Copies of this chain bind each other. A is one copy, B any other.
Amino acid sequence: MVKYRPGLDSTFAALADPTRRAILTALSRGEGSVGELARPHQMSLPAVMKHLRVLEQAGLVSHWKTGRVRHCRLAAPALKEAADWLSNYRLFWENQLASLDRFLKEEQDKETSPCPKRKPHPRRRSR
């Protein structure tokens, strides 16, 4: 069902950090310079650049320069590849969550339903 794709190692590793995810979120709204991307984060510019390098190596971000300003943009293919890999499991989790829903509903019904009627005792056989 799911083939091994080496690019996924670096993509998922890059996504495993909140700062890098926040940078991707910012870039999904539009391209930005490194300075603009660094502004919301309480960390040095070199630290942000390090995160950007990880994102670039994973193919999630590309950059170009205008003079001394480095601009970044989000790159679609790596994001899509990761989403495609996870979507292979969609049917699985939909089934599992639906089963859980059914189970919880049945348990709730048992709790809220009136006491079950007692079964009548089987009649004693007349000897």
A contact set with B: CB distance below 8 Å:
1-2, 4, 6, 8-13, 15-18, 21-22, 24-25, 28-29, 74-77, 79-80, 82-83, 85-90, 92-93, 96-97, 100
Contacts and interface: CB of A to CB of B under 8 A. Distances in A.
Determine the main DSSP class of A at the interface with B: helix
Contacts of A10: 16
Contacts of A15: 8, 12
B76 A83 contact: no
Given A2-B21, A8-B16, 11 more contacts: A4-B22, A6-B18, A11-B16, A12-B15, A74-B89, A74-B92, A75-B96, A76-B92, A77-B97, A83-B83, A83-B93
